[in-house]
Amino acid sequence: MIDFELRLENEYILLRPIEEKDLPELLLLTSIPDMWRFYTHDLSSLEGIRGWAKPALDKERLQFVIIDKNSQQLVGATAFGNISQRDKRLEIGWTWLGREFQGTGINNQVKKLMLSHCFEVLELERVEFKTDVLNLQARKSLKNIGAIEEGVLRSHTLMTKDRRRDTIYYSILKSEWNYVKRENDW
C-alpha cells in the first residue's frame, strides 16, 4: 500500500522520504528542548533524532522531510504510520516544524498533500491523527482541517521525562473527504 520512495509536492513544498544524511540539518531546527514537551521524543540532540528516525529508516513508517521549495530548506517532518492495508487506514503524524516555520501555513499544505494522497490515490476509508491532550495548538490545527475528535486514551503513551500522556484521537473518513476539501478550499 505504501511506496517508501513516495514524494508529494505542490508549488510550495516537497515531501520526500527522510534519509540519514538529513539528520544533522534537522538538528539545526530542533535544538530547543522546550519544543518537545508534547512529543514522544526529545529531538534536541542527535541521539534523540536518531531514535525518532529509526522506524522510518527501517521502513516501519514513511517519514518525510518537509522542504520549502522557494528556499530549498528543510523546515520539518511528517509521516504516514500505523498502516493497516486490510482496514484501509493509516495515521498521519509525527509532524513538527522548526519554530520559525510554525504558523506560516506550511502545516496546512502538508496535510492537504497527504490527505489528498490518502483518499484520492490510496482510496483509504480512514485517516487517523493523535496528539497529547495537553497540546492545544495541535488539537486546534486538527479541528481547523476538519478532523473529528473521537476520544481520549488515558495514560496511553510514555513521553520525555517519564510523563504518561493522555492521547486524544481524531480522524477523517472517506465519506467526509469532499466536505473537508471544500471547507478548506483545497
Question: For residue range 152-184, what is the model confidence (pLDDT) as tens digits?
Answer: 999 999 888 889 999 999 999 999 999 999 999
Structural domain contains residue 44: yes
C-alpha 156/C-alpha 164 separation (Å) is 7
Provide the percentage of residues in the chain whose pLDDT is more than 90.
87
Residue 156, pLDDT score:
96
Residue 3 lies in a domain: no
What are the pLDDT digits (tens) for 62-100?
A: 999 999 999 999 999 999 999 999 999 999 999 999 999
Q: What is the pTM of this model?
A: 0.94
Q: Is residue 64 included in any domain, yes or no?
A: yes
**Residue 1 resides in a domain:** no
- Whether the per-residue pLDDT at 1 is higher than 90: the answer is no
Rounded (5°) CA angle 4-9-15: 45
Query: What pLDDT is attached to residue 40?
Result: 87
Q: How many domains does one find in the chain?
A: 1
Cell numbers representing residue 60 in the block: 516501519
3-state percent helix, strand, coil for the chain, nearest multiple of 5: 35, 35, 30
Q: For strand 126-132 and strand 164-173, is the pairing parallel, antiparallel, or unpaired?
A: antiparallel
Q: Rounded to an integer, what distance in angstroms lies between the CA atom of residue 91 and that of residue 93?
A: 6
Looking at residue 160, what is its pLDDT?
83
| Residue 52: partners with Cβ closer than 8 Å, 6 or more residues away | 40, 41, 43, 94
Does 2 have pLDDT greater than 90? no
State the chain's mean pLDDT as an integer: 95
Query: Looking at residue 186, what is its pLDDT?
Result: 78
- Find the helix or strand (DSSP H, E) in which 102 lies: none
**In-domain check, residue 58:** yes
Pairing label, strands 89-97, 73-84: antiparallel
Question: 152 lies in which domain range?
Answer: 8-183
- Tell me if residue 1 falls in helix, strand or coil: coil
Q: What's the pLDDT at 162?
A: 86
CATH number at residue 118: 3.40.630.30
Which of the four pLDDT bands, split at 50, 70 and 90, describes residue 37? confident
